[in-house]
Structure formats: C-alpha cells, structure tokens
Amino acid sequence: MPAASGPSGSSFSRFFIAALGLSFLAMNGVSLRQNYLLKHSGVSGVASVASTFMTRRRGGNAYNATYTFTVAGQTYDGTAEVSPATYYSLRPGQRLAIRYVPSDPTISESAEMSHNGTGLFIVGVLGLPTSLFILWAAFRSKPFSPPEDPLQ
C-alpha cells in the first residue's frame, strides 16, 4: 500500500508540498530583497579580508572571501564570491572592493562579482513563479491522481 494513499496520506502530501512552497517563497523573497537593494541603493566600499576558501560544486569551483568592513563606526562581516585570480592573490588583511547597502550593511557582496541584476532576473522570473506554482499545486481543489489503467 503506498504511503500517500487515503485521506491522511493526501493531507500529509498537501502539507509537505505547501511547506516546501512556502520555504521556497520565503528564500526567494529574501534573495529578491537583497538583490534589489544592492542594485538600487548599493554603494562602493573597501573591506579587509579575513580568510579565503574554495567550495567544490558541480561545474567547477566557487572561490570565496570572508571580510570585515566598518560603516558609521560599526563593524560588519561578509562572505562573497571572488574571481579565481583574486582568490589566489588575496591574503588576510588585504583590501577587497565591495558593495553594500547603507541602510542595511549586513547585505554586501564583492564588487568584482556583483551580479545583482542577474539575481533579480533569476529570482523574479524563475524563483518566485516556481514557488507560487508549488503553492498552487498544494492548494488546488482537486489533487492530482494518475489516470486509471484501462486494461484492469
């Protein structure tokens, strides 16, 4: 007997799909806000490199730097992707050009890898509609049921 059969299985499936859709919607909302703020109110600044690290992922490596910077006497930390050339040349204490949001300096990125326009497009055109589709699938009135086999 399948795990998702009967009324309780269907309710659990709908709950799980709804929770997944809401999670995606929340993550996409946060990402959209950050990219929008960086694109429309981000300013240039300089940070001090704390460390660098590389992350292996499908299709290649991601080169990252952690950094600290000061705005209005308060110190903020950030992590951002950098180019391979920058990654191999950076040492702790060196300067790194960044962009940050003055009204919320916790939102920052490296200036050389600024991709907030692309991020806005991806989240706005792909992420939010996908999240909304998942929610629609969870709350539609008639749940999906596979067609019956005419030979049985």
What is the tens place of the pLDDT at every residue in 6-50?
455 578 888 888 888 888 889 888 888 888 899 889 999 999 999
Q: How is residue 46 written in tokens?
A: 């300089």
| pTM of model > 0.85 | no
What is the tens place of the pLDDT at every residue in 113-127?
876 677 778 877 888
Eight-state DSSP code of residue 141: S
| Cα(120)–Cα(13) distance, integer angstroms | 31
At the top level of CATH, the class of 9-139 is: mainly beta
| Cα(152)–Cα(145) distance, integer angstroms | 16
Cβ atoms within 10 Å, residue 70: 13
pLDDT score for 104: 95
* Residue extents of the structural domains in the chain: 9-139
